[in-house]
Amino acid sequence: MTSLVQSEMNSSGFDLRLGALLFSNPQRDRDNAIVVAQHHDLTAGIEANDLLRIDFTVNKIEGEGGLYVITQDDEWIGYRFFQRMPNLHMRDSTGCHPVTEDILKSIKVVGKVKDIYRPRLN
């Protein structure tokens, strides 16, 4: 066991202080929120239970692109890579496709993924 004092841990052994630091409140920490991935997304390189650091203040595709959390037609939500080459393209499980005006109108950017943290087994 680590040098944590027992009073900092609940009965399950979860470190409450560490949990408070890692699992931020997306309403409060909108520019630097940590969330747990709920499903595997092969295209985005995300596995279930990965920790994602997301900037929820980003609401448009910036610069050269990157990995974004998006909704499409207010029905589907997920992760998509966007990149400019020189026009905007979106990568999904079938490949890299140009983003048309119609597609752009159907997409709402929810946030930008800054980092992916994956647990390792030693």
The residues spanned by each domain of the chain are 14-116
Residue in the structure block whose two tokens are 């066991």? 1
pLDDT at 15: 52
Written as one letter, the residue type at 90 is M
Average pLDDT across each block of 10 residues of the chain; the chain has 122 residues. List them in order.
Answer: 35 49 62 84 87 91 91 86 92 90 92 88 60
Distance CA 119, CA 97 (A): 32
Which tokens is 55 given? Answer: 């900037």
**DSSP one-letter string for 7-75:** GGB-TT--BHHHHHHHS--TTT-TTSEEEE--S-BTTTTB-TT-EEEEETT--S--TTEEEEEEEETTT
Distance CA 85, CA 65 (A): 10
Among the four given CATH numbers 2.10.109, 2.70.170, 2.40.10, 3.40.50, the one describing domain 14-116: 2.10.109
pLDDT at 92: 84
Distance CA 75, CA 101 (A): 19
Residue from 53, 45, 49, 44 nearest 21 by CA: 53
pTM here is: 0.73
